[in-house]
Amino acid sequence: MQRLLAAARRPILSRPPSLSGPPSRFPLGLGPRLGFAMVASGNPAEHTTGTWQRVSSGPVPYEVYSKPVEKSPQDDREYRVIRLDNGLQAMLVHDAKADKAAASLDVAVGHLYDPDDMPGLAHFCEHLLFMGTEQYPKENEYSEYLAKNNGSSNAYTGTSNTNYYFNVATTALPGALSRFAAFFHCPLFAPSCTVRELNAVDSEHKKNHQSDMWRIFQVNKHLSKPGHPWRKFGSGNKESLSKVGRELKEKGLLQNGNSQNGNSQNGNSQNGNGTAAMKSADGSLAATPNDSRAASPAPSVSSANSELEGDGGVVGRETRRRLVEWWSREYCAGRMRLCVVGKESLDELADMVASLFSPIPNRGREPLHMINDHPFGPNEMGTLVSLQTIMSFHALEISFPLPYLPPFWRHKPAGFLAHFLGHEGPGSLHSYMKQKGWITALSAGPQNLARGFAMFKITLYMTPQGFEQYETLIHTVSKYISMLRSSNFPAWYQRERSLISATRFRFAEKRRPDDYAVWVSEHMSWPVPRELILSAPQLVQEWDENDPVNGGEREMREILDTLVIERSRTVLMAKAEEYERVRGKDSIAWEKEPWYGTSYHVERLSEDFVKKANEPNDLKELFLPGPNEFIPTNLDVEKREVEKPAKRPFLVRETPLSSLWHKKDDQFWVPKAQVIMDIRSPVPNTSGRTFVMTRLFADLVTDSLTEFAYDADLAGLSYYFGGHSLGLYMTLNGYNDKLHVLAKHVLERVRNLKVSPDRLEVMKDQAKREYENFFLGQPYRLSDYYARYMLSEREWTMSELLEEVPTVTPEELQTHIAAVLSKVNIQMLVVGNMYKDEAARLAQMAEDILQTSSIPASEVIERSLVLPSGSNFIWTTPVPNKDEPNSSLSYYIHIGKTTEPRVRVSAALLAHILSEPAFNVLRTREQLGYIVSASQWNLTGGGETGIRIVVQSERQPAHLEQRVEAFLREMDEKLQTMPAEEFQEHRVALQKRWREAPKNLGEEVNRYWGHIEQGYLDFHRRDNDADLLESITKDDILALFRSRAGPSSTSRAKLSIHVKSQKPRPAKISVAAMEAFAKKVAEHGYAVDEQAWKANLAAEGDAPLEKFANYWRDTLLAQASTVSPQVAQELTKEVPALLEQYPASDDGKDVVIEGATFVQEPKAFRASLEPSERPRALVDWNDLPTSKF
């Protein structure tokens, strides 16, 4: 079931965002909610307890670390650390059971190492590095190879590191690794791709421009010590990356794209053409070969393919020259840490890595450069920063400077303090403030900002009432810290942390190999002995009570002593109108952060405020937590060898009220279980109001269990309880020892909840803000949401839900809760270290506690709406955020029923074939925007499927639709001419994906649950579909494409959602119009420097009209002595006609789409569509011959 209401609960404020790839990763050893280490380092060479032994038997010699890597007893993989002669270190991971291989290379250089005059260069390097190599010059060779071998890739730029990674089918690892390694010793940095990747970086920045996380992050950086690297603008944009080139050009210091100022830092010479002869590792850095570029399908006006446009002219060439110069200096083998996960033996992996990665040069750079100077100086500490947000929320974050944390890996003292400051149990800061009605959430923990310095952050998510009393909240935090300073800490507190971390490490499950490779490569730079690379970041050692100096407590006390208000910076976050409400209109003199335009104000904390904050604690409600009763004591796992793990769960219990599906773990052997309980009722989705009340009910349950459940969460046992369109949804996962205790408490709270008027108001405020903030999110999320809404039988818009929130009363909600629970049907799945009788007792307990009547499962189902054959619908709506520059297109093509195997399998194969070309054409080549994706889309209820293409762009959605349709027309030809070998590669890649084994308990549960939730019970679908693929031919796919996907098809069913930006775009003039104008200028007697005007205006294609006007105004004025000014005036009158005759590709005018039906009223449109078939079991498993009551 698709959860339409998937908006984030609250913004993430306190972690540095990473660029291009996934969010920053959390280390496994800090425990839940305790912050994270984005990058960790130190010089491992100084922290070795073993020896390096020379191996010369292979094709390329290398060194092996002598000590075995410490791993979990549960871990059946083999590990080896090697070091190449160029200084690169690699962790090799042999996984005999792997069906997917992966690699990650971490370079110890991030955006803090950008040149001061070129912010974003490290990020730009991460983009352009992928554009072909001398070994594999075709620019999408790498992504194409991965796509055909069930693989994918990504990368991200951090503050002190840049990480590149991929996953691929095990058999394709050598080929993938060869292509991957070439990026680091012979990249082309293809000149023809310069402008495209500058645009990609710029588009990525614009995507984030209205994101509070990025805006807050950059304000915090901006307010660092003058001259500190932390101030840098790491994302970069076209302006920051082109500024130097533009300035040099204006000064006449660039000739054919080469700096003439003598400041080249790597001594690149000039070749005969006047261009820098930049060299790669083997002595050459070739220009882009002809076959590395291909024209876009049915080129639009803007998709010109000239070298002038591709390399950005003299400015673009200067940016690229600086990039290659920087890369040649900073990308040093000694700074690289590699992790490779494969099925090959360790010897084979070692030979492969040594052969492929030894060509990377060691440039003699410091392996792990440290920035030991903290960005907080005396002027930055003891301040309060008020900051305006885009989204509606109230937050307060107190930051204390810390030293670099990885050297404290043994006892993790900052994590010890986070355990108390972030605790949510009785006596905690969270409990006290929540009972006061001041906060809805609190987080606390250490955070490595970069290699060399860190921060301890306490973040409060406040209610409006809490925001009004933010000074009191700051003082309350200070009182709790004061209480900690005056407290004695028995050693059992650290022993508990040590036990929890040891249990987590011992029973850690495998995860996706690329995720694991990234985690390992990141942590290889920690200053720990090489044999402890895996364990040191995750384990916490007990204190040595006999050693007061190095036993662990002293480190903690030293950090605790630094957590004083005069050493902190507090950041207050809210919308502008909230500051006016609380502090009065015009009471704050706002300043603007330069890159995002965020409004902020800095003031010093008064002496009286600091004095009060340093007073001893006088709040009796604050006290230290007691022992954690949820730490598991029974960790036994009965391991029974099986020939093959079962591929499905079994129906072991069925009553009129519930159905229980169960599978005893037979492959992971961990003392854990996962339970899903779907409590379905017809009441929640009868109206938008009942939907909102069901959500508030679930929120109140969760809110009331915070204190009780927090210890369970710390100990590795967690739950989720939420509302959805069919009722209530509850999950439990973690150590099974005390899972039934947590389940009992949650169910009893569900049954017996008494609505508190005060807490209801807090939950209503949260719901209101969440619904409001949804409209301020990324446009592509809006267009996808509306596409789901338009094609779901029973859904409510966010606007409808928002209208209902304010008027819900405690009495009405209490009545609604009783109605929801009066008649239900429970679908339940239990997988893991629990026998079926234990699972049955859990199901019986749920029935006994809920004490409810039953309804048939067939009365609570979800269905989609089906587009009619031969339809072409468009619905257009504005982007609500008027400052959002991006628009979005969600383009959905309906294929057919998932209950028809050949249709289902053919749709998946077609989507797989379209995916990589869609990205390559629409994003990489056509530069439409940063967000581009093509994928299979199953509609609500899972019974219907199609293909969805989404594009987020500054271009208007109608233009995006035209380019998508041009792409689809091109794909018709590609499918028709596709060689049999290539088609077979796609087919095999999809088969391998479907035949992948689940990597952990969670993945296994997800595979089963969709079939139970939707009611089809088709548990063997993946294997059956993989077998069926063998019979799907290219002609089948071409016929499907032409009948269901091709724009010229008369039977196609298509819906597109246009979410259109309201922010005006600067007017542009096309290259053709500029050429026509230049010709007219010459005809009227002016001297025209064609090379000059093209370099100034046409280097990137269409030019801003204002820039065009300024250039020609200055040019014509300079010749006023030879040509009458009246001639210039006559020429300017010609421009409007040229704009009409030669329109720019994105001139801001509405594009007319022929043959489409525009939806005027969504409700009427939805009412006109037929619902999908009612779900039914596709397989009768006969697990229970007769129902057992």
* CA distances (Å), origin 539, targets 126, 253, 573: 33, 56, 35
Q: What share of the chain is helix, strand, coil (3-state, %, to 5)?
A: 40, 20, 40
Residues 6+ apart with CB under 8 A from 1056: 873, 874, 875, 889, 890, 891, 892, 957, 961
Residues 6+ apart with CB under 8 A from 549: none
| Cα 502 from Cα 507, distance rounded (Å) | 9
User: Within 13 A of 541's CA, how many CA atoms are on the CB side?
Assistant: 16
Closest among 1182, 1149, 852, 780 to 1017, alpha carbons compared: 1182
Query: 452 is written with which tokens?
Result: 């060399």
Which H or E element spans position 1093?
helix 1090-1093
Query: Is 1130 among the catalytic positions?
Result: no
| Cα 445 from Cα 456, distance rounded (Å) | 6
Helices (H), 919-956: none
| Cα 286 from Cα 284, distance rounded (Å) | 6
Grouping H, G, I as helix, E, B as strand and the rest as coil, residue 149 is: coil
CA dihedral (508, 511, 517, 520) in degrees, to 10, reads: -20
> Exposed/middle/buried for 616, CB within 10 Å: 0-12, 13-18, 19+?
exposed
Query: 27 is written with which tokens?
Result: 């280390």
Query: 827 is written with which tokens?
Result: 């679908």
90 neighbors 81 (Cβ within 8 angstroms): yes
Query: 31 is written with which tokens?
Result: 């425990």
User: Within 13 A of 305's CA, how many CA atoms are on the CB side?
Assistant: 12
> Exposed/middle/buried for 1080, CB within 10 Å: 0-12, 13-18, 19+?
middle
| Cα 34 from Cα 447, distance rounded (Å) | 9
Separation of first and last alpha carbons in the chain: 28
Which H or E element spans position 122?
helix 121-128
| Cα 1018 from Cα 1024, distance rounded (Å) | 10
| Cα 643 from Cα 530, distance rounded (Å) | 37
Helices (H), 289-345: 307-311, 313-330
888 neighbors 952 (Cβ within 8 angstroms): yes
| Cα 1025 from Cα 1022, distance rounded (Å) | 5
| Cα 319 from Cα 243, distance rounded (Å) | 9
Residues 6+ apart with CB under 8 A from 1114: none
User: Within 13 A of 1159's CA, how many CA atoms are on the CB side?
Assistant: 25
750 neighbors 701 (Cβ within 8 angstroms): yes
> Exposed/middle/buried for 81, CB within 10 Å: 0-12, 13-18, 19+?
buried
User: Within 13 A of 466's CA, how many CA atoms are on the CB side?
Assistant: 30
Q: Which of 70, 78, 126, 1100 is catalytic?
A: 126
Residue bearing tokens 């959602």: 1057
Residue bearing tokens 């209109």: 585
Residues 6+ apart with CB under 8 A from 642: 666, 667
Residues 6+ apart with CB under 8 A from 1161: none
| Cα 66 from Cα 81, distance rounded (Å) | 8
Catalytic positions are: 126
